[in-house]
């Protein structure tokens, strides 16, 4: 049995062990997967202890994605662009490989919901790590333009300029957002505390879709607001499952079926 784990702090409510254990049962892969709460300042120590005990790979969540990026000896191009690592793997070369599956997880989930992507005008709320990791995958999915809006306007502008050579990407503050948008993605942590980014009304195009990277038993305040605007709304539970599936594939070269997990986790929320 190969050992894997998710590292975070706090980690108590992580659904990753549930998801990967189900993937392992479904695919017949002999793995174990646990949750490890590493000390905030000591991610590297915690990883090494796990690796010495036979750990083959890990998922990494808040607040360790940058520490994992620093620790990895080989970085995938998409991890380099994202500036963050959510998946560590010990390679056959004996090196520690860092990758990020969040962006592809988002795009797969958007596709699963038939979200507008090709030619779409997209608004991304937030300019932190969660936003940075999804920009390249969205551009690759063929969107027409991306507006990054953030509370701290300079962060939105800085992030947009970083990707300017790769597509039509601009940054602004919430007040300056001007639609219509086919897709609006909330990558701020505002939903966590029940806050709504102060957006102007009427920014959704007809058939527009609102996506919140957060999820909860009840719709987030952002998704409730979007529904009032007439937009279809989707939460981030599927993104969680899809990023996990991509990590599982990196480790095992086996692609699990995510559909049963979607139903199972939704019922357990």
Q: Which residue ranges make up the site for ligand ATR (CB under 6 A)? A: 126-130, 150-152, 155, 188-190, 193, 195, 197
The answer to whether the annotation marks 145 as part of a ligand binding site is: no
Q: Are 209 and 215 in contact (CB under 8 A)?
A: no
Alpha helices of 83-209 — where are they, by DSSP H? 102-112, 129-140, 153-162
Alpha helices of 127-171 — where are they, by DSSP H? 129-140, 153-162
The answer to whether the annotation marks 15 as part of a ligand binding site is: yes
Q: Are 186 and 214 in contact (CB under 8 A)?
A: yes
Q: Are 177 and 147 in contact (CB under 8 A)?
A: yes
- Could you tell me the smallest distance in angstroms from the CB atom of residue 236 to ligand ATR? 13
Looking at the chain, how many residues does it have? 269
Task: Tell me how far CA of residue 142 lies from CA of 157, 168, 246, in angstroms.
Answer: 22, 11, 20
- Could you tell me the smallest distance in angstroms from the CB atom of residue 127 to ligand ATR? 5
- Could you tell me the smallest distance in angstroms from the CB atom of residue 145 to ligand ATR? 20
The answer to whether the annotation marks 131 as part of a ligand binding site is: no
- Could you tell me the smallest distance in angstroms from the CB atom of residue 200 to ligand ATR? 15
Residues 141 and 152: their CA atoms lie apart, in Å, by 27
Minimum CB distance to ligand ATR smaller for 108 or for 132: 132
Minimum CB distance to ligand ATR smaller for 53 or for 193: 193
Minimum CB distance to ligand ATR smaller for 129 or for 238: 129
Please pick, among 5, 31, 65, 242, the residue that the annotation labels catalytic. Answer: 65
The answer to whether the annotation marks 126 as part of a ligand binding site is: yes
Using CA atoms of 130, 45, 36, 234 in order, give the dihedral in degrees to the nearest 10: 10
The answer to whether the annotation marks 154 as part of a ligand binding site is: yes
- Calculate helix-pair angle for 237-252, 259-268, nearest 10 degrees: 130
Task: Tell me how far CA of residue 139 lies from CA of 65, 79, 106, 146, 241, in angstroms.
Answer: 22, 16, 12, 8, 22
- Could you tell me the smallest distance in angstroms from the CB atom of residue 4 to ligand ATR? 22
The answer to whether the annotation marks 102 as part of a ligand binding site is: yes
Concerning whether 65 is annotated as a catalytic residue, the answer is yes
| Maximum pairwise Cα distance, the chain | 55
Minimum CB distance to ligand ATR smaller for 174 or for 249: 174
Minimum CB distance to ligand ATR smaller for 18 or for 151: 151
Rg of the chain (C-alpha set): 18
**Binding-site residue positions for shikimate:** 14-16, 61, 86, 102, 215, 243
Give catalytic residues, as residue numbers.
65
**Residues contributing to the annotated binding site for NADP(+):** 126-130, 150-155, 213, 236
Q: Enumerate the known binding-site residues.
A: 14-16, 61, 86, 102, 126-130, 150-155, 213, 215, 236, 243
């Amino acid at each position: 049995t190969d050992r894997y784990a998710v590292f975070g702090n706090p980690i108590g409510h992580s659904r990753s062990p549930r998801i990967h254990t189900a993937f392992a049962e479904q695919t017949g892969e002999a793995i174990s997967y646990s949750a490890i709460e590493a000390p905030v300042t000591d991610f590297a120590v915690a990883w090494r202890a796990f690796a010495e005990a036979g750990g083959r790979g890990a998922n990494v969540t808040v607040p360790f994605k940058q520490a994992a990026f620093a620790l990895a000896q080989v970085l995938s191009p998409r991890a380099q662009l994202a500036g963050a690592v959510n998946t560590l793997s010990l390679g056959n070369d004996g090196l520690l490989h860092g990758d990020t599956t969040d962006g592809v997880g988002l795009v797969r989930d958007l596709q699963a919901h038939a979200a507008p992507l090709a030619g779409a005008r997209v608004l991304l709320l937030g300019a932190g790590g969660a936003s940075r990791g999804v920009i390249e995958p969205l551009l690759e999915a063929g969107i027409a333009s991306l507006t990054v809006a953030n509370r701290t306007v300079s962060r939105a502008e800085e992030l947009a300029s970083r990707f300017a050579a790769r597509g039509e990407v601009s940054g602004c503050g919430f007040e300056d957002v001007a639609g219509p948008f086919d897709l609006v993605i909330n990558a701020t942590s505002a939903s966590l505390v029940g806050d709504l980014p102060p957006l102007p009304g009427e920014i959704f195009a007809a058939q527009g879709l609102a996506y919140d990277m957060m999820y909860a038993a009840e719709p987030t305040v952002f998704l409730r607001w979007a529904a009032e605007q007439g937009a279809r709304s989707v939460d981030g539970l599927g993104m969680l499952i899809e990023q996990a599936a991509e990590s599982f594939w990196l480790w095992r070269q086996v692609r699990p079926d995510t559909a049963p997990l979607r139903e199972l986790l939704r019922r357990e929320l």
